[in-house]
Structure 1
Amino acid sequence: MRFKGKTAVITGGSSGIGRSSVELFLREGASVVMGDIDEAEGTAMMSAMGDGFLFRKCDVTQENDIKALMDHAAEQTGGIDIVFNNAGAGGPRAPIDEISGDEWDFAMALLLKSVAMGIRHAAPHLKKRGGGAIVNTASVCAFQAGYGPMAYSTAKAGVLHLTKIAAAELAQYNIRVNAICPGFIQTNIFAASVGANKEDTQQINAILGQAATNAQPVARPGIPNDIAEAAAYLASDAAGFVTGTHLLVDGGMLVGTEGSWNPETPGMLDAILPEHLR
């Protein structure tokens, strides 16, 4: 019961990482206020999750919706202690030489501005509580090319720097700010980014799950609860000395090339040296 007596606001909580986080924070004693654009699922969750759960429709690309969510959470529960800025999607997939200005603006609004405004409109409520914790969802895409669409990756890199700056500015109010960088997590985000139907989504998830076992040292795909547990740690008192940083939850994907961890794959030197010099 790490969060007994505390209120957590979680965005994008109707599925995937957000849904697992809602369930975990509720189990740990928090009152959870969830914001999501999916009104039908959010309303259904109101019946399923019990008295500790509240839902408010929130389009995180709209600042007024974010402010209304934070204000509603504080009014209904007495204050806010934890914010998990998690909502997002893959966004436009166009490369830099094809993306339109409107597509770029949408990606930044969904993935970066939403986090900034989540912090902006949560901070006054956290100050009133004497402090708290903010957790932002970034990505392994923030570190190098090839792991996600260009606009998505750029926005997630922005989330990392925003996290550092916000942590520095809000430290005086006893507010900690950290980020999580998921690797390949089995959610519907990949299928949704290409407009897949239900059947295709299942097939894509199965393919990605198998691919993940070969793409990283930990030979299994990530699951939403892996990220929920990381969010709970960063939001808890156990992370009271942790701020302005990020936590990689990627199965070791970024530790190095496959040759560094797979004994069946030649390392760089092995690949280029003659056999008698290896």
Structure 2
Amino acid sequence: MGRFEGRVAVVTGGASGIGEAVVRALHAEGAAVVVADVQDEPGHSLCAELGRRTRFAHTDVTVEDHVSDAVDLAVADFGRLDLMFNNAGVMGALGPIDRTPMADADLTLAVNLRGVLCGLKHAARVMKPQRSGVIISTSSPAGLLGGVGPHVYSAAKSAVIGLSKSVAAELRPFNIRVNTIVPGAVVSPMTATVVAGDAGDLDGATAALGASALMDRALTPGDVAAGVLYLASDAASYVTGVTLPVDAGMTGISGTSPYTTGRYEQPMMLLEAGRTTVAPGRA
């Protein structure tokens, strides 16, 4: 019996990248999953591969009826909704702020923020009468730090965190938990386009991201899926309103400690007016 036996999830952006990893992990642990994505071919292929307990719903998250239909499909075919993972997102508008086309900005906000709002709305519609459920949305380090993502993307991802905390306060009395996951730069087709110049070059993306990784390897979609499944599981049954980074400390640790290298490799004391003493036994 898996942790999610008998539970039902909707995963937006579920046909590739982080979403696909979460779909696979949930299904492996017993959940029924609706893969909600605008990418028809990979979505259908994933469901065909996993077989029973999966459905594909063509879902453009900028269209509220699509999001609503994906939720309704989960309830119609599997009887309930236990997890809504609002994961669909795009980098969207790139470039200097003074040259940003507003149409590009509007679409970026529509996918990355309005789409999450739609997911929260329609998940709550089903979960409130159940008086149970978990809603998780994907943000980004760009939502917490300046200069690590495009402008409009950063604004949307910051707003996802604020929106999730606000909704968490509303839904807490209904035993519905609402949290946010913050993945670092993860190996995915979208990231591969940025760092390797080819959405299909995942090996190139792995090498490029691994070379600059804060830990000993590149972040994988499976790493992020582990964080999502924790937040969705009973192990996190008292966890709501939190923002969980899966980023090797990028957003929480400003840099490498200078107090473990060079002259500081040996224990010592730094005292008044710069006076130093070496720890006993280390002279």
Q: Provide the TM-score with structure 2 as the length reference.
A: 0.87
1:250 aligns with 2:251: no
Report the equivalent of 1:271.
none
Larger Rg: 2
Is the contact made by 1:66 and 1:121 (CA closer than 8 Å) also made in structure 2?
A: yes
Is the contact made by 2:188 and 2:202 (CA closer than 8 Å) also made in structure 1?
A: no
Is the contact made by 2:139 and 2:160 (CA closer than 8 Å) also made in structure 1?
A: yes
CA offset at residue 199 of structure 1? 6.4
1:129 aligns with 2:126: no
Is the contact made by 2:143 and 2:158 (CA closer than 8 Å) also made in structure 1?
A: yes
Q: Partners of 2:149 and 2:258 in 1: how far apart?
A: 23
CA offset at residue 79 of structure 1? 1.1
Report the equivalent of 2:120.
119
* Cα 1:172–1:46 shift into 2, 3 Å: same
CA offset at residue 46 of structure 1? 2.2
Structure 1: 5+ residue stretches without partners: 268-275
Amino acid at match of 1:68: D
Report the equivalent of 1:78.
79
Is the contact made by 1:90 and 1:190 (CA closer than 8 Å) also made in structure 2?
A: no
Q: Partners of 1:96 and 1:266 in 2: how far apart?
A: 44
Q: Partners of 1:152 and 1:258 in 2: how far apart?
A: 24
User: What is the RMSD of the two structures over their aligned residues, measured on CA atoms?
Assistant: 2.3
CA offset at residue 196 of structure 1? 3.6
Aligned identity (percent) is 38
Correspondences of 1:253-272 after superposition (within 5 Å):
253-260=250-257, 263=260
255-264 vs 222-231, which moves further: 255-264
1:148 aligns with 2:116: no
CA offset at residue 129 of structure 1? 2.3
Deviations 1:204-259, CA, capped at 9 Å, x for gaps: 442122122xxx2x222111011111111111111111111111110112333434
Q: Partners of 1:177 and 1:95 in 2: how far apart?
A: 34
Correspondences of 1:100-115 after superposition (within 5 Å):
100-115=101-116
* Cα 1:198–1:222 shift into 2, 3 Å: closer
1:231 aligns with 2:231: no
CA offset at residue 18 of structure 1? 0.7
Is the contact made by 1:89 and 1:193 (CA closer than 8 Å) also made in structure 2?
A: no
Report the equivalent of 1:203.
204
Deviations 1:85-138, CA, capped at 9 Å, x for gaps: 011121111232221211111111110111111010111111232211001101
* Cα 1:45–1:260 shift into 2, 3 Å: same
Amino acid at match of 2:148: Y
Correspondences of 1:140-219 after superposition (within 5 Å):
140-192=141-193, 196-198=197-199, 202-212=203-213, 216=214, 218-219=215-216
Q: How many matched pairs? A: 266
Amino acid at match of 2:19: G
Is the contact made by 1:188 and 1:205 (CA closer than 8 Å) also made in structure 2?
A: no
Q: Partners of 1:64 and 1:105 in 2: how far apart?
A: 19
SS of aligned partner of 1:209: helix
Is the contact made by 2:86 and 2:137 (CA closer than 8 Å) also made in structure 1?
A: yes
Q: Partners of 1:189 and 1:134 in 2: how far apart?
A: 24
Q: Partners of 1:238 and 1:261 in 2: how far apart?
A: 36
SS of aligned partner of 1:258: coil
Amino acid at match of 2:54: F
Deviations 1:10-64, CA, capped at 9 Å, x for gaps: 1111111111100100111111111011101111122100101111110111111
Q: Partners of 1:263 and 1:24 in 2: how far apart?
A: 38
Report the equivalent of 2:53.
52
CA offset at residue 193 of structure 1? 5.5
CA offset at residue 264 of structure 1? 5.7
After the TM superposition, list the runs of 4 or more consecutive aligned residues in structure 1 that deviate by more than 6 angstroms: none
Report the equivalent of 1:24.
25
